[in-house]
Homo-oligomer: A and B are copies of this chain.
């Protein structure tokens, strides 16, 4: 097996019913850093980024009832939704996973939040944990800039 070259935990995602409540919880109550919010049409969510050092929490509010996050909330309620790992080369990682016959939600990369490229593995392939791989071309610059300063 070739390695997938996972570099770090890119983010932890939580499903929330309401982004205003998430803002209050993550930014005011826990005091994480406000890294902005964004609509991600490909995942039918609005996202709030709450920074914690070099990593972050992504709060996911569904844009409508057909969002997978809306279905998650209906079934389980608010809570931990997925974990995302930053990889060096997403195309290479997906090619290797395909070679291994791993069950994927995304066989090829799709646009993620913050200008990233992302792909999800199926939870059945990863011990019940919905797992995302992220290629974040801005991350290197960020690491050399403010966040590790």
Residues of A within 8 A of B (CB): 1, 3-9, 12, 14, 16, 21-22, 25, 28-32, 52-57, 76-83, 85-86, 100, 102, 123, 126-129, 131, 148
Contact = CB atoms under 8 A, between A and B. Distances in A.
Contacts of A127: 14, 16, 21-22, 25, 78-79
Contact of A6 (B9, B32, B123): B32
Interface hub of A7, A30, A76 (most chain B Cβ within 10 A)? A30
A interface, over-half SS: mixed
A6 B25 contact: no
Contact of A54 (B4, B8, B80): B8
Q: State the oligomeric state as a number of copies.
A: 2
Given A30-B85, A79-B123, A55 B8 contact: yes
Contact of A52 (B9, B16, B148): B9
A80 B83 contact: yes
Contact of A129 (B32, B80, B83): B80
